Amino acid sequence: MFDGSGAKVLSAGDGLGAGIESTLLDFTAKRVLVTGAAGDIGGAIAAAFAAHGATVLLADRDHSRLLARHAEIPGSAWHLFDQTDTASVQQLAAWAGDVDVLMNNAGILRTGDVLDATPDEVQQVIQTNLIGPMQLAIAIANGMAARRQGVIVNTASQLAFTGAATRALYATAKAGVVQFTRSMASELGARGVRVVALAPGRTRTRLNAHLLDDEDEYRRSIGRIPAGRIGNTQEMARLALILASPLSDYIVGESLIADGGYVLE
């Protein structure tokens, strides 16, 4: 079937329903760099890409947990780096070499009264969650643009769209990630580089499990979530996989919010 311009339009009769898992989600021979790989979401993302054939490059600042993650993912390689250090970011990009997919995921969360935030805390949160990811994306994208192929998936946050008390610094940095994603995508799309973002909502990890295991805190947490539950790392990993795959080739510059509907309230 063809549209008015003469271009072929795929329809249900073209066999689109078959083979999606084995073809469009096959990352065999692809190099995928995952930052924040020692964390729960980053680790789940790295494992998902490895399970779908990718050569996974793991990067984090937590040496012991990074080594543990490397041991869990056969065939992976690892590199220790500090996202607040420009030289370290550049060294990571040089070590990684040609990358097909960058999962730009590393970050930190600072909570507390915004009036109590010190200049050092402001600098650390913005450097780690915005400036560092921007610098890495630019460094990696140079090689992608030269080869005219590649995907960058930046990790944003539902808080980039809603904000929240006690999370002003984090939400501000992640809002910057969203706009960086949009702007970078508009520049690089014509050069073969697709840039998108994944914006998780509340997701159970080892860092917040002690809070969510408290019944009252859990009820407060899900009070504004229409889905009625907290997300999990495997859900975020699946979405990252889809965003980086040819299934999402026509998604450019967007941020996929995965928060159980929190932003709807």
Question: Which CATH number characterizes residue 156's domain?
Answer: 3.40.50.720
| Cα angle for residues 77, 82, 88 (degrees, 5° grid) | 80
Mean pLDDT score of the chain:
91
Answer whether residue 11 is part of any domain.
Answer: no
Q: Is the pLDDT at 38 greater than 90, yes or no?
A: yes
Reported pTM? 0.91
Quote the strand ranges of the chain, DSSP E. Answer: 31-35, 55-60, 77-80, 101-104, 150-155, 193-200, 255-258
> If you ran DSSP here, which 8-state letter would residue 205 be given?
-
pLDDT in tens, 76-86: 999 999 999 99
Residues near 64 by beta carbon (within 8 Å), at least 6 away in sequence: none
- pLDDT of 22 reads 66
CB atoms within 10 A of CB 28: 8
Q: How far is the C-alpha of 97 from the C-alpha of 90, rounded, in Å?
A: 11
Options 170, 218, 250, 262, the catalytic residue: 170
pLDDT in tens, 164-187: 999 999 999 999 999 999 999 999
Question: Beta strand 101-104 with 77-80: parallel, antiparallel or unpaired?
Answer: unpaired
Q: How far is the C-alpha of 181 from the C-alpha of 194, rounded, in Å?
A: 10
Answer whether residue 17 is part of any domain.
Answer: no
- The token duo for 201 is 């909502």
Going from the C-alpha of 33 to that of each of 9, 86, 202, 243, the distances in angstroms are 34, 18, 24, 15
Q: How far is the C-alpha of 182 from the C-alpha of 197, rounded, in Å?
A: 9
pLDDT band at 26; cut points 50, 70, 90: very high
pLDDT in tens, 91-135: 999 999 999 999 999 999 888 999 999 999 999 999 999 999 999
Q: How far is the C-alpha of 107 from the C-alpha of 35, rounded, in Å?
A: 9
Answer whether residue 2 is part of any domain.
Answer: no
Answer whether residue 4 is part of any domain.
Answer: no
Answer whether residue 6 is part of any domain.
Answer: no
Range of the domain at 173: 26-264
Answer whether residue 7 is part of any domain.
Answer: no
- pLDDT of 21 reads 55
Answer whether residue 227 is part of any domain.
Answer: yes
- If one counts the domains in the chain, the total is 1
Answer whether residue 104 is part of any domain.
Answer: yes
Q: Is the pLDDT at 222 greater than 60, yes or no?
A: yes
- Dihedral sign computed on CA atoms, order 248, 81, 44, 98: positive
Q: How far is the C-alpha of 72 from the C-alpha of 76, rounded, in Å?
A: 9
Give the bridge partners for 101, in sequence order.
Answer: 32, 151
**Residue 250 a catalytic site member:** no
Please give the average per-residue pLDDT across 21-33, as a whole number: 90
- The token duo for 117 is 């935030």
